[in-house]
Structure 1
Amino acid sequence: MKTSIPARLRPLVQALLPLGLALAVLPSAQAGATFKIDENNSVSIGGGLRVSYSSVEDGAPSGDSRSNDFTMEVARLYMSARIQKVFGVTFNVDALEDDVKLLDAYVQYEPSSLFNVWMGRMLPPSDRANLDGPFFIAAWDYPGVVSSYPAIFAGRDNGITVWGKPLGGKLTYAFGLFEGHNKAAGLSNEDANLLFAGRVAYAFLDAEPAPAYYTASTYYGAKDLFTVGLALLQQSDGVGTAGNKDDYLGYNIDVLFEKNLGPGVLTLEGAAYKYDFDDVDVAPATGNVGGLAPGKAYLVSVAWLFPQPIGHGKLQPFVRYQRSSPDAANRDVSAYDIGLNYVISGHNARLSAVYTNTDSDATGSKIDKFLIGAQFQY
């Protein structure tokens, strides 16, 4: 399929493409490649790719045969710069099947680990799943059955975040204000009320090594972890229409436990969500408009990383269960994954094979899917 790049982004992509191709042969590293301009200024660039083959029961165009689909799920270009050490700029783009979309674009003031300010388009403080993103979850698919905070695109929104990591990084706080949901004429947020997003997490064992207020759902035994996080998002007149609206409130608790037990690394993750507002939001969802539903949801997952290398990597089987229970009757959705990761270089190089079964009361369907995926970052 021919990829169409918006005209306003073509000069940027054309300018960066030769550099990106040159860097593709460099050793894999989560931070990409950094070019030092002088003692106080530098530029970094990297990329990430996730591709998969999937087969879904009755998913073929005929409706009665299994589908066979090869998908370019995520293709990202990461770019950042440091200016006088304490200032920064981050600009990331996401190449979809037929378009290139802005992912992140924010300026940074980072004077210390205790207090930092970002402004622009970014991930609002929220649940672990959203702060993991697709590359840093333990399973393959994003847990969209349970994690459904409002966003413009890929969990992002435009706004400002203040964050820090006191107590040697054991405590992580992040609080922000964002444009939020239903900001359009005729919808609930005609007055442009801001969305508040906040998260506090405490690491009872080792501090998590993820940068800023970001997270991962496994560190493959690099640290002994027991982290509890609390997130809350609130917006006045955040759901509904101008004539039938309500305040939006969503919150969750998430827990990550990971420990190297010798015979292997045990990873346990859990999360519980509450979306608390009247069932007045318009649907379907388009951008950061419509599609939200009140209710409860939860997630549990277990993974085990074997220490013995097999070839270039290690095996990590996992099981994950999700359930969403909207307030509306007969709308429950549940899904479980049974999978095996082949971990080559942490989150930078990994292969996955997953079976997923999804059961929806709303549609009365039970769908099973088999997927083989590969992700690489540099």
Structure 2
Amino acid sequence: MKTSIPARLRPLAQALLPLGLALSALPAAHAGATFKIDENNSISIGGGLRVSYSSVEDGAPSGTSRSNDFTMESARLYMSARIQKVFGVTFNLNGSEDEVKVLDAYAQYEPSPLFNVWMGRMLPPTDRANLDGPYYLSAWDYPGLVSSYPALFAGRDNGVTVWGKPLDGKLTYAFGLFQGHNRKLGLSNEDAKLLFAGRVAYAFLDAEPAPAYYTASTYYGAKDIFTVGLAMLQQSQGVGTAGNKDDYLGYNVDVLFEKNLGPGVLTLEGAAYKYDFKNVDVPAASGNVGGLAPGKAYLAGAAWLFPQAIGPGKFQPFVRYQRSSPDGPNNEVKAYDLGLNYVIAGHNARLSAVYTNTESDLTGTKIDKFLLGAQFQY
């Protein structure tokens, strides 16, 4: 059955196709190269890059003209090693503009799919968006309007996680203890209370092919997916100052459905969040300090992957809606995304064109943004 791209999306398709054709001579992207030392030990290395052009309404330095910005959003170096098969080390770096930081750095004990232990800097088990990271979303931009759990850097924190995938991988559990929020003299966590993070997800159809307890928001039809996840983070004395503190509690439910229907792959995603504490946190600062607000948030998204290849890739239009409703009057912020991905090699080679409109009740403004992005991993 032949399908065609809707007329309203054809200008975006025409913008993406020439770049995709120019890249068609590149070798297929993959997850990196593995060098085998012997039958029990190996080293792997890979990388990732996200670059974009964006134009934002009133975003120029004048405050009255559109901005025109070319951004190196992320350059990543992935490194890992296996030692005697059951032990491992992962060390990943992330660079953006002129700054390079440690992204992940953890030791691994992985004796079985049912039980594993990681210790170091890693992604705490939270919502699907955070476990996707920017490279494995359906949309381009991270949904930071709704997914705002405390983190040290790029969703990470220092701690320990126990995880496993029983029932042939259909059930994924992950529980961890982490350094947590506001761990600073004069702030709420000067007593160094740990943050607990836990997630349980069940796949009612195929088990998700993502590694460990990680996720993606689309698998481009490789599996039939219907997964429901529940996550909770709790920390005593997690928000506020030493003299005005409160316990932190945040939790969410997220759902992913994906099905190859023949004429295309349908992807549906949703999430609901609750951040439950008093409005006492300090303004955001560097590190895992300040900036948290109580309230509710919601996310909904849909995508459709056309089956026919045009040039080296396939087109995938998507829509996404975010709504953040912090406690208090007139604080709601909404964002609408309408975009088109040109999928060359799954999440390893993808181009994106996105229009975003953000509405704020607090400021009474509506701001639109147009973005062209390119993402590659190897």
Kindly tell me: are residues 285 and 360 of structure 1, through their superposed partners in 2, closer, same or farther at Cα, counting changes over 3 Å? farther
Q: Partners of 1:155 and 1:337 in 2: how far apart?
A: 22
1:122 aligned partner: 122
TM-score, normalised relative to structure 1: 0.92
Per-residue CA distance 1:283-305 (angstroms, 9 max, x = gap): 03421000000000000000000
1:51 aligned partner: 51
CA contact (8 A) 2:51 2:73 kept: yes
CA contact (8 A) 1:336 1:358 kept: yes
- Root mean square deviation, CA, Å: 1.1
**Greater relative contact order: 1 or 2 (C-alpha under 8 angstroms, separation 6 or more)?**
2
1:238 aligned partner: 238
Shift of 1:363: 2.3
2:6 aligned partner: none
1:91 aligned partner: 91
**Higher alpha-carbon deviation: 354-363 or 156-165:** 354-363
Q: SS state of the match for residue 134, structure 2?
A: coil
Structure 2 counterpart of 1:339, which letter? Answer: G
Q: Partners of 1:152 and 1:165 in 2: how far apart?
A: 27
1:75 aligned partner: 75
**Which structure 1 residue ranges, 4+ long, deviate > 2 Å from structure 2?**
25-31
2:271 aligned partner: 271
Q: Partners of 2:28 and 2:242 in 1: how far apart?
A: 50
Structure 1 gaps, min length 5 = 1-24
2:315 aligned partner: 315
Kindly tell me: are residues 29 and 166 of structure 1, through their superposed partners in 2, closer, same or farther at Cα, counting changes over 3 Å? farther
Shift of 1:273: 0.1
Kindly tell me: are residues 26 and 60 of structure 1, through their superposed partners in 2, closer, same or farther at Cα, counting changes over 3 Å? closer
Listed as ranges, the matches of 1:5-84 within 5 Å are 27-84=27-84
Q: SS state of the match for residue 106, structure 2?
A: strand
**Higher alpha-carbon deviation: 182-191 or 362-371:** 362-371
CA contact (8 A) 2:29 2:349 kept: no
Q: SS state of the match for residue 151, structure 1?
A: coil
CA contact (8 A) 1:188 1:242 kept: yes
2:177 aligned partner: 177
CA contact (8 A) 1:28 1:377 kept: no
1:284 aligned partner: 284
Structure 1 counterpart of 2:138, which letter? Answer: A
Shift of 1:30: 4.2
2:188 aligned partner: 188
2:162 aligned partner: 162
Number of equivalent positions? 354
Structure 1 counterpart of 2:90, which letter? Answer: T
Structure 2 gaps, min length 5 = 1-24
TM-score, normalised relative to structure 2: 0.92
CA contact (8 A) 2:90 2:105 kept: yes
1:376 aligned partner: 376
Shift of 1:28: 4.3
Per-residue CA distance 1:170-229 (angstroms, 9 max, x = gap): 000000000000000000001100000000000000000000000000000000000000
